[in-house]
Amino acid sequence: MTVRSEFSLPSAPPLPSAVALPLQQVTLANGMEVIVGENPAVDIIAARCFLKAGNRYEPIEQAGLSYLLAAVLTKGTQERTSLEIAEQVESVGASLGADNDADFFTLRIKTVTADFADILHLAGELLRTPSFPEAEVELERRLALRSLRSLREQPFAVAFEQLRHALYGTHPYAFEGMGTEATMAQLTRDHLLAFHQTYFRPDNLVVSLWGQIKPDAAIALVERVFGDWSPPDTPLPTLDLPTPVVQPCTVTTVQDTQQAAILVGHLAPAVHDPDYIPLKLINTYLGNGLSSRLFVELREKRGLAYSVSSLYPTRLDPSHFVAYMGTAPSNTEQAIAGLRRELERLRTVPLTADELQVVKNKMLGQYALGKQSNAQLAQIYGWYEILGLGVAFDRQFQEVVQAVTIADIQRVACRVFGEPYLSIVGPEAAVAAGVASSDEKR
């Protein structure tokens, strides 16, 4: 193995009482990345195993595949049954589970220090030799189908689904993590085996672990578990994904609901875009918490919203910025106008220096609070690595946030908040009023 880097990373933002935690990063001979942080304060070790194997890597006709794989990965290996796995984990009070995301797949574990080696060996089995029992695949597939059907009855779920399809077309980001009823219904164990064989390989894996363990001992343990796992001769597939094109439109669903769900959406910068962090600050300003601009102006002052906020997820490909509101159907037209007005305002009215500093403090404070536990630390540094940002992005993130100017905020708002996509779900009269107001505005 070769040691790539060694850092001393403080919590963010730097505080006089912050304790520097040693971090070491290595690449094993098989191409696997390992990140280790020692934290002697707590007798807990948490690990995250990241793979580039999320929804972005699924064929469209198999949307939901990585979700189904996450649901059944822990249900058996070539050596152990589902019951044996559960008994081993639960007998020592450990936790183990798998998750899929738009851009990656994660296996997460947490144990007391004394049990970590055994649970890591189990994790190695799950990643390398899962059995995907037919009965478990069928059960989880049926449960996913039931969940997808229930989403059809939730106005915001319907509104987000139709907005994603409008934004992304045939890009995998158009689909909910579980895919659709049509795609989930035809997934089989063979699909899982093929996806696993393609993407579950050591040169596509990042292991990030933090806790009461010396870095050298942790790396040696990871090598014992994964070191004999050789990558296949074939390279990883090259993705040929479509680039979303901005084509603003209005999409609607008539549903007999007590409130209308309204989403105003825009395509937005990917994580490697220089405008990613300024737009994260804009999202914090507009939609983060009870003091956010949307909450104060549209709910507290104008009484338009049952719920109101914004979101801007981190994505490898073009992301989306969405301002959304749940409102009384009779307020649909005013709600759409209010959301659009708040986004457009950032294009023409600069933030004050005080407003920008408050938003920076808020985002950096929340960032620091998200790095308090070993599990959170393992998550964030592994996440940075799997996204191609590297662990040094922790420090860069804080520095770039502090360097963002008022002009940057306004420039990014002008770039992103042009003519919007609009998604409306609600009673027929509310939808008609929303479409009419949108047509007038366009």
Question: Half-sphere exposure of 1 toward its Cβ, with a 13 Å CA cutoff?
Answer: 22
Residue in this structure with the two tokens 């190695």, named with its chain if needed: 124
Considering only CA atoms, which of 355, 368, 366 is closest in space to residue 405?
Answer: 355
**What single letter denotes the amino acid at residue 216?**
D
Whether domain 250-441 has CATH 3.40.50.2300 = no
pLDDT band at 63 (very low <50, low <70, confident <90, very high): very high
Q: Using an 8 Å Cβ cutoff, are 49 and 104 in contact?
A: no
**What single letter denotes the amino acid at residue 361?**
N
Average pLDDT of the segment spanning 419-429: 96
Architecture of domain 22-226: 2-Layer Sandwich (3.30)
Considering only CA atoms, which of 324, 292, 321, 286 is closest in space to residue 156?
Answer: 324
**For the chain, what is the mean pLDDT?**
93
What does the pLDDT read at residue 436? 85
pLDDT in tens, 40-57: 999 999 999 999 999 999
Is the pLDDT score of 409 beyond 90? yes
pLDDT band at 193 (very low <50, low <70, confident <90, very high): very high
Distances from the Cα of 194 to the Cαs of 64, 105, 189, 310, 439, in angstroms? 14, 16, 9, 37, 47
Same fold, 22-226 and 250-441: yes
The residue extents of the domains of the chain are 22-226, 250-441
> What would the two tokens of residue 205 be?
């894996």
Is the pLDDT score of 383 beyond 70? yes
Lowest mean pLDDT among 10-14, 22-26, 101-105, 187-191: 10-14
Question: What is the DSSP annotation of 292-335?
Answer: SHHIIIIIIIT---SEEEEE----SS-EEEEEEEEE-GGGHHHH
Q: Using an 8 Å Cβ cutoff, are 318 and 244 in contact?
A: yes
pLDDT band at 21 (very low <50, low <70, confident <90, very high): low
pLDDT band at 10 (very low <50, low <70, confident <90, very high): very low
Is the pLDDT score of 438 beyond 80? no
